[in-house]
Amino acid sequence: SVDCSFSRGVCDWKQDADDDFDWNPADRDRGDGYYMAVPAFVGHKKDMGRLKLLLTDLKPKSSYCLIFSYRLAGERVGKLRVFLTNKKTAPVWEQNKGKDEKWRTGKIEIFQEAETTNSVTFESERGKGKTGEIGVDNVILISGLCPED
């Protein structure tokens, strides 16, 4: 498995230059490192911020599981979507509100066919709310199918 978490991960993360705002590091409550976040008050409604994970060396014809922690905290904070490079049009995963402020786990299967996935994009869309944040943490890539809960 490959640790792509932000504090000590080995992965290559890039801010998208063509979006409306950047994701920023935020300190974890426990004090051990940080996660990436977009505060609710950044930008205008419908503005987008994209954080891209560049994937190299994924073997063709194999499957991977991307596991990550996410949080949508606050009233009408916006949407969090995940896109894979070769599926440009539609997100492979989307959440638009949290039931509470808790961190949850997201899982995405990545199948390498002839067309390989060479990046995963976390996209935050600004909502109407003025408080809270959208956060992503503990991004890990493992080979094989995603484990059942």
| Domain extent listing, the chain | 2-143
pLDDT of residue 87: 60
Strand partners, 71: 135
pLDDT of residue 114: 67
| Spatial distance between the Cα atoms of 78 and 82, rounded to a whole number of angstroms | 14
C-alpha distance from residue 25 to each of 5, 111, 147 (Å): 12, 30, 29
pLDDT of residue 58: 79
Residues in CB range of 46: below 8 A, 6 or more apart? 125, 126
pTM equals 0.92
Centre a 10 Å sphere on the Cβ of residue 53 and count the other Cβ atoms it contains: 21
Burial class of residue 30 in the structure, from the number of CB atoms within 10 Å of its CB (0-12 exposed, 13-18 middle, 19+ buried): exposed
Mean pLDDT by 10 residues, the chain (149 residues): 85 93 91 90 92 85 92 93 81 86 93 80 94 94 89
Contact status, residue 132 vs residue 38, Cβ threshold 8 Å: no
**2-143 topology per CATH:** Jelly Rolls (2.60.120)
CA 8, 11, 17, 20 dihedral sign is negative
Place of tokens 């009233």: 75
pLDDT of residue 98: 66
